[in-house]
Amino acid sequence: MSKAREFARLPGFRDFPPEEMALRNHLFDVWRRVSRRYGFLEYDGPPLEELELYTQKSGDEIVGQLYNFTDKGGREVSLRPEMTPSLARILGERSRAMPKPIRWFSIPQLFRYERQQRGRLREHFQWNVDLVGADGVEADAEVLAVALDGLRELGLGVDDIRARVSDRRLLASILTSIGVPESSLVATYAVVDKVEREPTERTLERLTEEVGLADEVSRQILELFREPELERVARAFAQDPEVTRRLAEMREFLGTLEDLGLADFVAFDLTIVRGLAYYTGIVFEVFDAQGEFRAICGGGRYDDLLELVGGEPLSAVGFGMGDVVLADLLADRKLVPDFQRGVDHFIVVIGDEQASLARRVARALRDAGRSVVYGVRGQSVRKQFSAAANEGARDVIILGPDEVARQVAMLRDMASGDEREVPLAELLDPKPQTGES
């Protein structure tokens, strides 16, 4: 026989033993509940797609992280690194026949071959919420409100999280006004995106050398991003009609969020650009308020993507919220619910003669919707009681020869230790249980 070999998990992948699974289910439950509260319907797509769906639309960063391969039929395919291209493809096939706007959500598992680091793995689950076929900043605000309500429902408050919002068209109009040529805009975005994380000198060097901007233009960009408050930007570009128009939209967006009671959760931040290539308007990211963790959520408006993948031209806005950083933040804030493994009843038999009765009682209780566990054959009574405690049983049903002879069982409440007799007839014909216990 060959020697046994140990297998480890692949780097960047997770196991979900019951405790971890409980947290994952908790997140999913909250995400589903909040989605439905806003009228969104759940959908899904395949985890494997044609490679080109991503190489064309998602932007270089994500393309470098694809889990792609040639399948046995010679097709170039990739595990999905994000949901938005699949959503665009799915709607491309069917949106013409659908009433607008379309409110859809999904919780896919996604795969990116990233360098493993805190908050970034090679697989994660991502809550995707997208509103398709609705123009205007009310739609953008509605989508961001879903994200923030999802986080509030998990117990996070205004001291814990902040949505940082910007608008790519506003950024483009400001950069154009400063003198950045149109052909250098995308390269400039990539530098602006990292402005907070890189030293000033490095940003300047990238703007002049990599993007090729004039020294004076680069310095103006740096100056602007040092204090990019909305009013300061408005004053500096008061003469520029395009910037002024975009700023008015931004104010309307912020005003809508104020109506929705979320103003304190939101901050204008011109450095938010987003890595993905398809965004066309308002963009946002949600971070922990202290800025200790990586982004929890990112999204924005993408009005061209559906048409680009062959669908009808439809505007769209949405976000993706990952489970990895969120779980770290919830643990940090002590907001992870206690793990509950409790079953309703554990049946203890004093002797093997009661085993058949135990199974009949279990059948009747389970049919009535209760959770029931009993010990393995031949276990001592002491072992059965410790098994009941391990299972977190609410009560123990004890079947002993004397009680059974009198057609009763002893019921012990595990929390209080109180014992009382119950007729066997009641256990064998219990009232059906409604709802969760």
Residues within the interface to ligand HAM (CB under 6 A): 82-84, 112, 114, 120-121, 124, 126, 128, 130, 276, 295-299, 318-320, 322, 324-325
Closer by beta carbon to ligand HAM, 319 or else 374:
319
What minimum distance in Å lies between the beta carbon of 10 and ligand HAM? 14
Q: Quick one: the chain helix, strand, coil %, rounded to 5?
A: 40, 20, 40
Closer by beta carbon to ligand HAM, 306 or else 324:
324
Q: State the CB neighbour count (10 A cutoff) for residue 68.
A: 19
Q: What are the beta bridge partners of residue 106?
A: 128
Closer by beta carbon to ligand HAM, 170 or else 296:
296
What minimum distance in Å lies between the beta carbon of 83 and ligand HAM? 6
Q: What are phi and psi of 88, to 5 degrees?
A: -60, -40
Closer by beta carbon to ligand HAM, 110 or else 427:
110
Beta strands 41-42 and 68-70 are unpaired
What minimum distance in Å lies between the beta carbon of 370 and ligand HAM? 39
DSSP string, 126-178: EEEEEEES--SHHHHHHHHHHHHHHHHHTT--TTTEEEEEEEHHHHHHHHHHH
What minimum distance in Å lies between the beta carbon of 255 and ligand HAM? 23
What minimum distance in Å lies between the beta carbon of 301 and ligand HAM? 8
Closer by beta carbon to ligand HAM, 128 or else 280:
128
Structure tokens at 396: 């123990």
Closer by beta carbon to ligand HAM, 325 or else 362:
325
What minimum distance in Å lies between the beta carbon of 267 and ligand HAM? 17
Three-class DSSP category at 239: coil
Return the residue nearest ligand HAM (CB atom). Answer: 322
Distance CA 361, CA 356 (A): 9
On whether the CB atoms of residues 419 and 411 are closer than 8 A, the answer is: yes
On whether the CB atoms of residues 22 and 339 are closer than 8 A, the answer is: yes
